[in-house]
Amino acid sequence: MKAAILTIGDEILIGQITDTNSGWLARKMNDIGAEVVRMMSVADDIADIHRGFDQAFELADIVLVTGGLGPTKDDITKMAMSEYFDDELKFHQPSYDLIERMFNKRGIPLRDSHRVQCFLPSKATLIENNMGTAQGIWMEYKGKALLSMPGIPYEMKAIMKTGGGLEKIRTTFSSKAIAHRTILTAGEGETTIASLIESVESNLPDHIKLAFLPSLGRVRLRLSGLSDNQTKLEQEITLEVNKINELIPDLIFGYGNETLESAVGTLLKSKNLTIGTCESCTGGFLSHIISSVPGASAYYDGSIVSYSYTLKEKLLNVSSQTLNQEGAVSEATVREMVEGGLLQLNTDIVVSISGIAGPSGGTVEKPVGTIWLAVGNSFTTQTSKLQLGKNREKNIEYTAYYALNMVRKFVLHHY
Amino acid sequence: MKAAILTIGDEILIGQITDTNSGWLARKMNDIGAEVVRMMSVADDIADIHRGFDQAFELADIVLVTGGLGPTKDDITKMAMSEYFDDELKFHQPSYDLIERMFNKRGIPLRDSHRVQCFLPSKATLIENNMGTAQGIWMEYKGKALLSMPGIPYEMKAIMKTGGGLEKIRTTFSSKAIAHRTILTAGEGETTIASLIESVESNLPDHIKLAFLPSLGRVRLRLSGLSDNQTKLEQEITLEVNKINELIPDLIFGYGNETLESAVGTLLKSKNLTIGTCESCTGGFLSHIISSVPGASAYYDGSIVSYSYTLKEKLLNVSSQTLNQEGAVSEATVREMVEGGLLQLNTDIVVSISGIAGPSGGTVEKPVGTIWLAVGNSFTTQTSKLQLGKNREKNIEYTAYYALNMVRKFVLHHY
């Protein structure tokens, strides 16, 4: 099966928005064994959309379209589709009822534009969007198909996943057996991991591929196979997963769609431990990712973000002597932040961070990207120092995930 | 002048890399008055590259190509270009000398692959890349032109800027005047804003377009125009901006590339105010976005995330009576959180949030998505209640931006 991905929207062509939908869709299409042969961004213009449809259908069996399905006037995708497939837009009562129910629940009045939004191509199959008012529109034509979705990423993903869009594409076009397994690692970079598991990678069977998917502080290893026999394929992939597991057991924190934050959460819960954070340069981002896991209240009590010197002293009892002599970015400070945090937050474990996130604020001795971390309980504290680059956003994210991995190793070692 | 942007590389089509080059190039093309009419990503395959060239030249005067110019095997762009323009690849001694000088300076030995890299289309004009070994390749054909550059972002940018690629494009093609203006709003959704400014939108001149770009809790309004006269166009767009400004003054927090968090930061700094946050269900996300702005320490001191009942009592002095009688998700609780926060954080303003982020944890009286917020100083406190959906991630993000906008309005009203 071949796929094309078409993005509609002037905002992409003027560079105002970076298109992340296409990359996400490409990965999902890969997962079901489809080859993405083209990505395209076209203007909010019917003739240009039609030209894009032509070019996409010339190459692909399934065309995934994002953008241009909202309730405002610049959203002309539906009209372009209706014309292209020689169809007409008709008012679709069930869609209107759905929006009405959704809005009544929240006490928001419906507008005329929502009525307009319910005019849909009469031959379309609708795919549910449980995150918004514009449903996915599926149209088939000469053995090929087009699925149009809104451009808001979480709505598009809802249509593909919970709405069943991806499954519909798979069952419409493919019969081959597909298997995927993702190994989740933290603590080493892509290059190091590649050299550690080189013996596995170079001996993989032809129909099984390994991809490295790095993000800040974490690397995912994705094994994917395509074959005629599902059971055999699953066994083959399991074999490779086990080999990798033997080579880098300490780096692996989970499998599949788990995240480092959920894996650490599960670990804490299984040991009946609670955690709190005391952050400075990460400004609450570590607290945010820990509490982003549903049910985090079982092991997460709270945090103190002490951005200023004053609050480090007042809320965390960091001594003014330490702050004046060693500085806020020092091993002594993060140790005292853990001690103060254990008293204030009353948790079993506290993790603390203090550093210079950038882009400015560094000195010769402590350049931008210098970051101290500590993890401790009432018996022992471990510290670590990072020397990162000058990008504020990247430093904050990398540091928070590094801290989470320190917590993971601390718990595994001490409990 | 019309432009198309073509990205070559399998790594983009499988979703392993997000293409940020195209957005950057689009913004630069806009700056010189070019209209980007198409973006495309094609595979590392000569036939597919040729198809991409055809489709791009059908629409555009200038085609910008990135990717596929490095020293490895899959880099076949040069061959595809040579064939497409009916040219031949010839060894280009000056290019080789350039690489040799560059490498000698760093003491790196040259490899055969660098020799291969110096085979270039004979009719090409080369554009200097002072950040790497692959120069930009400019070819003209029937009054149109193609500029091929490596995919590594800083090399591509070097060719466009210091190498003079952008200037060459500008001087080669006579260009139409283009103007853009973005109005940033918070506080109302896309549909409401559309109806509030309907009189402006429906009376826009034909050559000026309005687009709505929504994200959680914020909507950007983008006006863009195309004309022969830059000065007149800028005036026309300014007129429309002023009309919109008159209709929705309270909703507008800024213009252009600003963010709500940076706008609020600038506002606080201009009034010499400091802020702290006391969060429950947002778990530090509000603190994170406030502190994500470089230089936030000028107005941001710190936060307390009191996720548990215990910490609400211990750190923020919320009374156990309030927690037991009204519950943690109540107006009384967020009011007391502000009072406790003002004492603990010692800031001029405190914003507090307590709610049920979901996906579970709701009751009949307080379903998932019920969220209370308060903003206050030592004189007065304002509260607000939200009733959102069940998506934890969305609820957290929406609430944090809603809170930021409450802060903005609070400061504008009281200071």
Which tens digit of pLDDT belongs to each residue from B74-83? 578 899 999 9
Radius of gyration over every alpha carbon of chain B, rounded to an integer in angstroms: 28
> Sign of dihedral through CA atoms B322, B326, B328, B333?
negative
Q: Give the pLDDT score at A71.
A: 67
Q: Give the integer Cα–Cα distance in Å for B269 and A65.
A: 44
Place of tokens 């990423």: A153
Average pLDDT, rounded, for chain A: 93
Q: What is the pLDDT of residues B340-393, one digit of tens each?
A: 999 999 999 999 999 999 999 899 999 999 999 999 999 999 999 999 999 999
The answer to whether A45 contacts chain B (CB < 8 Å) is no
Element (H, E) at B110: none
Look at phi and psi of residue A38 and say left if phi exceeds 0, alpha if psi is from -120 to 50, else beta: beta
Alpha-carbon span B320 to B333, nearest angstrom: 10
**Cα A210 to Cα A212: distance, rounded to the nearest angstrom:** 7
List the strands of the sheet with B275-279, edge to edge. A381-387, A370-376, A349-355, A275-279, A300-306, B300-306, B275-279, B349-355, B370-376, B381-387
- Confidence class for position A75, pLDDT limits 50, 70, 90: confident
pLDDT of residue B133: 84
Residue A24: C-alpha distances to residues A43, A185, A203, A226, B214 (Å): 21, 20, 29, 20, 20
Contact status of B307 with chain A (Cβ, < 8 Å): yes
pLDDT of residue B73: 56
Whether the predicted pLDDT of B212 surpasses 70: yes
Q: State the DSSP string of B22-79.
A: HHHHHHHHHHTTPEEEEEEEE-S-HHHHHHHHHHHHHH-SEEEEES--SSSTT--HHH
For the entire predicted model, the pTM comes to: 0.79
- pLDDT at position B173, please? 87
What average pLDDT does the segment B195-219 reach?
92
User: B254: helix, coil or strand?
Assistant: strand
Q: State whether A285 and B284 contact (CB < 8 Å).
A: yes
Tell me the one-letter amino acid at A310: T
Kindly state the average pLDDT of the residues A73-78: 77
Instruction: Name the residue among B80, B151, B167, B64 with its Cα closest to residue B121.
Output: B80
Encoded tokens for B88? 């031949």
Bridge partners (DSSP) listed for residue B45: none
Interface of A with B in 154-183 (CB under 8 A): 154
When CB atoms are compared, the residue of B23, B40, B308 closest to A301 is B308
A367 touches chain B (CB under 8 A): no
User: Mind listing the pLDDT tens digit for each residue in A251-288?
Assistant: 999 999 899 999 999 999 999 999 999 999 999 999 99
Residue A24 in contact with partner chain B when CB distance is under 8 A: yes
The Cα angle at residue A306 between residues A295 and B342, in degrees rounded to 5: 90
pLDDT tens for A284-305 read 999 999 999 999 999 999 999 9
Does A103 lie at the interface with B, CB-CB under 8 angstroms?
Answer: no
Which range has the top average pLDDT, A99-113, A276-290, B113-127? A276-290
Which chain A residues are within 8 Å of B18, Cβ to Cβ?
18, 20, 23
Put simply, the answer to whether B311 touches A345 (Cβ < 8 Å) is yes
Contact B352, B402 (CB under 8 A): no
How would DSSP label each residue in A109-133? PP-HHHHHHTEEETTPEEE--TTSS
Describe the crossing of helices A392-414 and A260-270 by its angle, rounded to 10 degrees: 30
Segment A344-371, tens digit of pLDDT: 999 999 999 999 999 988 999 999 999 9
- In 3-state terms chain B splits into helix, strand, coil percentages (rounded to 5) of 45, 25, 30
Min mean pLDDT across A66-75, A244-253, B89-98 is at A66-75
pLDDT tens per residue, range B58-69: 999 999 999 877
With tokens 């070097």, the residue in question is B158
The rounded percent of chain B whose pLDDT value lies above 70 is: 98
Is A111–B191 a contact, with Cβ atoms under 8 angstroms apart?
yes
Using pLDDT thresholds of 50, 70 and 90, give the confidence band for residue B139: very high
Residue B71 has pLDDT above 70, yes or no: no
Q: Is pLDDT larger for residue B252 or for residue A391?
A: B252
The answer to whether A356 and A366 are in contact (CB under 8 A) is: yes
Q: What share of chain A is helix, strand, coil (3-state, %, to 5)?
A: 45, 25, 30
Query: Burial level of A229, CB count in 10 A (0-12/13-18/19+)?
Result: exposed
Q: How far is A246 from chain B (nearest CA, A)?
A: 26
The two structure tokens encoding residue B69: 């110019």
Question: What's the pLDDT at B126?
Answer: 95
Residue A97 CB-density burial (10 A; 0-12 exposed, 13-18 middle, 19+ buried): exposed
pLDDT digit string, tens, across residues A5-30: 999 988 899 888 889 999 999 999 98
- 3-state class (DSSP) for residue B359: coil
Model confidence at B52: pLDDT above 70: yes
d(CA A312, CA A319): 8
Query: Which of A114, A215, A392 minimizes the C-alpha distance to B190?
Result: A114
Q: How far apart are CA A116 and CA A340, in angstroms?
A: 58
